Amino acid sequence: MLLAAACEGLGVALVSQLLAQRAVAQGFLQALSAQRVRGPAWACLVHRDSQDDPLARGCMQWPREQLGRSAVGTTPVSP
């Protein structure tokens, strides 16, 4: 449901890259951050029209800060 909402431009989705790969390949979603959570491959995605929206980017500030402090950490990848 979260992935479908993001595909419709109704928000941001923190989902498994495996589940999102088709929507990303078709151009419906774009990665909001180059950061990835270790473990299962998760990505924060947003509708392509919202990729540069300051509100969409701002909503990722807190999780990004928390991931940076956590033991789980993040792994940067190229966009």
| pTM given for the model | 0.49
Distances from the Cα of 2 to the Cαs of 7, 9, 13, 47, 72, in angstroms?
9, 11, 6, 12, 23
pLDDT tens per residue across span 19-28: 888 999 999 9
The CA distance from 3 to 7, in Å, is 6
DSSP string over 15-60: EEHHHHHHHHHTTSEEES-SEEETTTTEEEEEEGGGTT-HHHHHTT
| Total count of domains within the chain | 1
The domain in which residue 58 lies consists of 2-76
pLDDT tens per residue across span 9-48: 888 887 888 888 899 999 999 887 776 666 566 677 778 8
Chain centroid offset of residue 10 CA: 14
Residue at 64: amino acid letter: R
